[in-house]
Amino acid sequence: MPQLSPLFWVFSSFMVVFLLMSMVVIFFVNKVNFKEVVKGEIYMMKWYW
């Protein structure tokens, strides 16, 4: 098997960290807007779109 380049490892690590941060942010926003689920969903829709 060919040896993977350091750039590949950096990119993979960055993607993993990005996904983890995204999940943490979504969890935090949902927790904050737990009593206002509909408003929270609308806020997330505006954030992504």
> Does some domain include residue 49?
no
Give the number of domains in the chain. 1
What count of other Cβ atoms lies within 10 Å of the Cβ of residue 22? 10
Biggest CA pair distance of the chain = 52
> Does some domain include residue 17?
yes
Closest C-alpha among 4, 15, 48, 12 to residue 29: 48
> Does some domain include residue 12?
yes
> Does some domain include residue 45?
no
pLDDT digit string, tens, across residues 7-42: 888 999 999 999 999 888 888 876 765 555 666 666
**Residue 15 belongs to domain spanning:** 6-40
Residue whose structure tokens are 């949902």: 30
2 Rama class: left (phi>0) / alpha (psi -120 to 50) / beta:
beta
> Does some domain include residue 24?
yes
pLDDT of residue 27: 81
pLDDT of residue 18: 93
Global confidence as pTM: 0.47
pLDDT of residue 15: 94
> Does some domain include residue 27?
yes
